[in-house]
Amino acid sequence: MKRYTIFVITENFIGILNRITIIFTRRGINIDALTASESRLEGIHRITIEVTATEDTVIQLVNQIEKIIDVIKAFYHEDEAVVYQEIALYKIPVSRLDGGLEKVIRQHNAKIIAAEPDFVVLELTGHKEQTQELLEILKGYGLLEFARSGRVAVAKRMLTIDSLLK
Amino acid sequence: MKESMIRGADIVVQSLIAEQAEIIFGYPGGAIMPVYDALYDYHEQIKHVLTRHEQGAIHAAQGYARVSGKVGVCLATSGPGATNLITGLADAQIDSTPLVCITGQVAAHLLGTDAFQETDVVGISMPGTKWNIQVRKVEDIAPAIAKGFYIARSGRPGPVLIDITKNAQVDFGEMNYAPCMGFRSYKTHIPVEKMAIQEAAELINKAERPYIVFGQGVVLGKAETELKFFLDKTGIPAASTLLGSGAISQDHPNYVGKLGMHGNYAPNLLTNQCDVLIAIGMRFDDRVTGDLKRYAKQAKVIHLELDPAEINKNVKADIPVLGDCKESLSLLTAAVSEKTHPSWMAKFRELEQMEKDAVMQHDITPTKVGLTMGEVINLINQYKADDAVLVTDVGQHQMIAWRYFNYKKTRTQVTSGGLGTMGFALPAALGAQLHDYSRQVICVVGDGGIQMTIQELGTIMQTKAPVKIVLLNNNYLGMVRQWQQMFFDKRYSFTELDNPDFVKIAEAYSIKAQKVTDRGDLKEAIEDMLIHDGPFFLEVVVEKEDNVFPMIATGCSVEEVRLS
């Protein structure tokens, strides 16, 4: 079992995400993270799915995703073949802001992106390991809320969506 | 409003006519009533058959599609009408049957409010359709139907569901029908790689014990002639899957029988002795392969297949040949050298004889008093037309009928293969018959399955479809009982049936009916049935506890196929 990133390039139709996720459900495979966004081209969406599975399984998943009528292309990569980022937000009570926290923020290159009378919101982008490390530390600072995005990724391989549409 | 504008419901019907649909199987209801109202005006251009249940409608559409090669069309209302289609959709999906099902839906402003007869049929049918869509605006109706037909019939065929809200059916719009010619996310044609053909040909030319296993892909790809030429030239023994049966005549000298759990002895056993396995338009279903870890491990595998998702799904292909098998088979035939394989072929014939002695003799010419399913099918063979269609349900009778029916022509095999849907046969036979009243359609069914859709006798009565129904009655859910006998210590848990008087039921529907309990009456009854001008219901009371052999038990290897 390994971690893979599956990219799906698809028409923007209602229900397409459902059609994709049931392929995972049917085989009892958990989706670790999923992000969907419009691509560089209008009307075409890209969905990034992070999954832990064997390569054989991932190949079959990708083949079955690609079989969906409105999917233009699906492919998969190992972690080394993609450049990816995740974003994490941390809500900390103002009462816990002190010199120690300031040091933590500096060390991790986190940013304060919002300050309210009762709390501040920190932001960190990076790989899961990095955002996780900060999460563990901030638990000691009365962390009120935490949210992490799915993976946003691009492949290292040179391949453009335009070429897939031909 | 412009004068050229028509109701959405009329657009639905005109679109179906534009797609050359000849017949609709359906059932009316609230949310589809505007379309039914429109149908009233078009009865000369398109026929509608009122079934007695929506499941009957969709199985009839499947039967029609399977024998005709055309898209079967089905119409139902929202809510329960739509959910009653689900079994048929799943069946058509797994057996690659082209269907377009149109369901009515509550008005768009009511969607999501739990309105009367509202159900999320697009959500429910998603895993069981090749494509589905909800249409909420009148202008989207014609493009959706055009796209639906294109998707259903192209590539690997499959079922499509189009859900149309009531407001779209009653609103007025323009009818400018443009058939769909393709779109960017959906590639139907995969060019065959010359390199793969060359590698496959080299492997075949060097092979000492090559073996062909073919499936329904040959029929769907209209590659029957190409398969025959390939067999003629290479002299390679060939076996069919359940749904591939009929793709070539069983009289072909290379034909060695049927594959799978209840297939023939030699084709299963020798799968593990070939050196090159050539799979054509088949998907290595678990009922064909048995234990995958011990399936054809000694062989190099060449897989001719249209659907890329089938390559390496169950069996790893050493040489995948992607593409339409009509194309790849003719390329491959040109590339291979002419050959015969007499000693390898003799092995098949030798094992065939063993099966004849150990199994077939008892099945066809039994010495005991009780009638067997096999002798019924054997007698049917003697009187049936060459192009007679055999429609079967699911269970022991299905396997026996398949084993003994003499397939001579393509598209003569209609059965629920992948899904194993009991209740399939009667409505499917109706649909097959309505495609061509003059063709012999023989529906072989068990006493369990027929009672799941027995109400379709009403549709047979109303349409006067001359279906020949052969009920093989053993008063058991026979296949389950066989498993209970073999694997569950004869604990016959809820498999025995107290059955009604079937002849009376058929007669109540004005269908000529006869019951046979003695061997002496069988021959004449079958003759009478087949020459009868109209539907006929023949009940044959068979041995209660007969079993189907050969058999590859679950988890066993093909080489562990048992004769008893």
Query: With an 8 Å Cβ cutoff, are A14 and B131 in contact?
Result: no
Give residue A157's pLDDT band: very low, low, confident or very high (50, 70, 90). confident
By C-alpha distance, the chain A residue nearest B185 is: A72
Give B-chain residues touching A22 at CB under 8 angstroms.
Answer: 126-127
Q: Which two tokens stand for residue B63?
A: 């039967």
Among A10, A64, A69, the residue with its CB nearest the CB of B309 is: A64
Two domains, one topology: A2-82+153-164 and A85-148: yes
Residue B96 has pLDDT above 90, yes or no: yes
Percent of chain B beyond pLDDT 90? 98
Give A-chain residues touching B307 at CB under 8 angstroms.
Answer: 67
How far from B141 is each of A40, B158, B173, B211, CA to CA, in Å? 30, 20, 9, 48
Single pTM value for the model: 0.95
Two domains, one topology: B6-173 and B194-348: yes
Segment B45-69 shows an average pLDDT of 98
Domain B194-348 fold is Rossmann fold (3.40.50)
Question: In this predicted structure, what is the pLDDT of residue B437?
Answer: 96
By C-alpha distance, the chain B residue nearest A8 is: B185
Segment A107-125 shows an average pLDDT of 95
Q: Where are the domains of chain B?
A: 6-173, 194-348, 365-541
In the 3-class helix/strand/coil scheme, how is B487-541 assigned residue by residue? HCCCCCCCCECCCCCHHHHHHHCCCEEEEECCHHHHHHHHHHHHHCCCCEEEEEE
Question: Is B529 annotated as catalytic?
Answer: no
Give residue A99's pLDDT band: very low, low, confident or very high (50, 70, 90). confident
Question: In this predicted structure, what is the pLDDT of residue A166?
Answer: 63
Dist. CA B70–CA B59, nearest whole Å: 14
φ, ψ of residue B562 in degrees (nearest 5): -105, 145
Give A-chain residues touching B185 at CB under 8 angstroms.
Answer: 10-11, 69-72
Mutation pick from A57, A67, A161 vs chain B, by most beta carbons of B within 10 Å, is A67
Question: In this predicted structure, what is the pLDDT of residue B39?
Answer: 98
Query: Which of B:282-321 have CB within 8 Å of A?
Result: 307-309, 311-313
Question: In this predicted structure, what is the pLDDT of residue A97?
Answer: 84
Residue B139 has pLDDT above 70, yes or no: yes
Question: Which is the catalytic residue, given B20, B45, B116, B350?
Answer: B116
Question: In this predicted structure, what is the pLDDT of residue B134?
Answer: 98
B112 CA: distance to closest CA in chain A (Å): 15
Average pLDDT, chain B: 97
B120 CA: distance to closest CA in chain A (Å): 12
Mutation pick from B185, B187, B292, B316 vs chain A, by most beta carbons of A within 10 Å, is B185
By C-alpha distance, the chain A residue nearest B309 is: A63
Question: In this predicted structure, what is the pLDDT of residue B388?
Answer: 98
Residue A25 has pLDDT above 80, yes or no: yes
Give residue B531's pLDDT band: very low, low, confident or very high (50, 70, 90). very high
Give residue A96's pLDDT band: very low, low, confident or very high (50, 70, 90). confident
Q: Where are the domains of chain A?
A: 2-82+153-164, 85-148
Segment B80-85 shows an average pLDDT of 98
Domain B6-173 fold is Rossmann fold (3.40.50)
Q: Which two tokens stand for residue B158?
A: 């499959």
Strand intervals (E) in B129-192: 131-135, 159-165, 172-173
CATH of domain A2-82+153-164: 3.30.70.260
Question: In this predicted structure, what is the pLDDT of residue A158?
Answer: 73
Q: Which two tokens stand for residue B338?
A: 């002419």
Strand intervals (E) in A12-142: 31-38, 44-53, 71-78, 82-93, 111-115, 119-126
A130 CA: distance to closest CA in chain B (Å): 37
Q: Which two tokens stand for residue B114?
A: 């739990």
Query: With an 8 Å Cβ cutoff, are B185 and A11 in contact?
Result: yes
Domain B365-541 fold is Rossmann fold (3.40.50)
Domain A85-148 fold is Alpha-Beta Plaits (3.30.70)
- Out of A50-64, A89-103, B539-553, pick the least confident: A89-103
A98 CA: distance to closest CA in chain B (Å): 50
Give residue B110's pLDDT band: very low, low, confident or very high (50, 70, 90). very high
Segment B181-206 shows an average pLDDT of 95
Interchain CB contact of B479 with A (< 8 Å): no
Own/partner long-range contacts of B306-312 (Cβ < 8 Å, ≥24 apart)? B306/B155, B306/B156, B306/B190, B306/B217, B306/B221, B306/B281, B307/A67, B307/B155, B307/B156, B307/B283, B308/A63, B308/A66, B308/A67, B308/B190, B309/A60, B309/A63, B309/A64, B309/A66, B309/A67, B310/B283, B310/B284, B311/A63, B312/A59, B312/A60
Give residue B380's pLDDT band: very low, low, confident or very high (50, 70, 90). very high
